[in-house]
Structure 1
Amino acid sequence: MKSKSRFIKSIVAAAKTEEVHLPWTRGTQRKTALLIRHNTAPRQVQAKSA
């Protein structure tokens, strides 16, 4: 149980020091990343059947 409590304490300490950015708070960073991802993805052309 001792190692488990140390693990939990380390997670809590890390959570206090790290700044978490939620998706809806990132704003322009997220929009630009999405645009780049969608614009650079190769598009597949569907073959038309006869």
Structure 2
Amino acid sequence: MSSQTRFIKSIVAASKAEAPELPWARGARRAAFIAKRNGVLLKKVA
């Protein structure tokens, strides 16, 4: 199997395995970073 065929097969397998995280679905850590950057205070939960 050539390296290009192996590469293509790995790309196809990775695309079927999981969908990449979208920027707006990354959770509390990202929301806190964006709020800090925008100068907004967030209420801590936990």
TM-score (norm 1): 0.46
Greater radius of gyration (CA): 1
TM-score normalised by L of structure 2: 0.48
